[in-house]
């Protein structure tokens, strides 16, 4: 593997998904979830440490409690974690909720991008689960549209306006901002309005050009 990395001139490989660690995102017990998140982050950091930087992990957090998630993020940064995994939605909130402002500020301060990813096994509200009953059908709908929900929440409600250095990567299933921004631009053209009270202030395509998305 190291030979392939050198041949392809790859400086760093990031381990994006924590497999069973995704479940941490939906646990309700604060102490259990936060301890498990810290355990996973320490474990992935220890696994990557012998590679001296060419292999780095993405950490997991528990976003339902503000100060806890900030503390876990601080610890992850100290461990050398490359980014922080977050779900497209929370149990009762979208990602633009004002309660999450301190978390985004902490992420920006630490210079850590967010890696957006979800899965039916996470047991958070998902688009499509009310229509289908098996695992194969649900991801066909939920993966893409959950990511689009997250993109719309972060951009149209002003999160990237309030945290201009925030960097978010939307992983897997081809859920890209170019498609969503095209729809947004069409809506703006029809309505003649750029944003909302707390929302975007620029052409949606500008957020891609600036590197937020």
The predicted pLDDT at position 2 comes to 61
The predicted pLDDT at position 55 comes to 87
Which residues are CB-neighbours of 135 under 8 A, at least 6 positions away?
120
Domain 1-210 has CATH 3.20.20.140: yes
The predicted pLDDT at position 75 comes to 92
Burial class (CB in 10 A: 0-12, 13-18, 19+), 209: exposed
The predicted pLDDT at position 207 comes to 66
Burial class (CB in 10 A: 0-12, 13-18, 19+), 112: buried
How many CA atoms lie less than 13 Å away from 158 in the CB half-sphere? 11
CA-based angle 44:46:48, to the nearest 5?
Answer: 70
Given a cut of 50, the residues of the chain with pLDDT beneath it are 175
| Domain range list for the chain | 1-210
Q: What is the pTM of this model?
A: 0.78
Express each pLDDT in 128-180 by its tens digit: 677 777 767 776 777 777 888 888 888 877 888 889 899 988 876 664 555 55
Q: Which residue has the tokens 């490989």?
A: 13
Query: Alpha-carbon distance 16 to 4, whole Å?
Result: 19
Query: Alpha-carbon distance 188 to 114, whole Å?
Result: 27
Query: Alpha-carbon distance 83 to 166, whole Å?
Result: 12
């Amino acid at each position: 593997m190291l030979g392939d990395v050198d041949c392809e001139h790859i400086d760093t490989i990031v381990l994006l998904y924590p497999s069973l660690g995704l479940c941490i995102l939906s646990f309700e017990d604060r102490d259990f979830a936060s301890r498990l998140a810290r355990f996973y982050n320490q474990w992935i950091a220890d696994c990557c440490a012998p590679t001296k930087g060419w292999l780095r992990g993405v950490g997991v957090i528990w976003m339902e409690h503000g100060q806890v998630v900030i503390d876990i993020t601080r610890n992850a940064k100290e461990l050398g974690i490359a980014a922080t995994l977050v779900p497209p939605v929370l149990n009762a909130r979208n990602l633009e909720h004002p309660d999450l402002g301190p978390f985004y500020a902490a992420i920006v301060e630490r210079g850590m991008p967010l890696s957006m990813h979800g899965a039916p096994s996470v047991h958070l509200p998902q688009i499509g689960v009310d229509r289908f009953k098996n695992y194969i059908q649900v991801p066909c709908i939920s993966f893409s549209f959950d990511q689009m929900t997250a993109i719309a929440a972060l951009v149209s409600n002003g999160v990237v306006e309030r945290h201009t250095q925030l960097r978010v990567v939307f992983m897997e299933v081809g859920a890209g901002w170019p498609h969503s921004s095209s729809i947004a631009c069409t809506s703006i053209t029809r309505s003649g309005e750029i944003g909302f009270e707390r929302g975007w202030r620029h052409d949606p395509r500008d957020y891609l050009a600036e590197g937020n998305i």
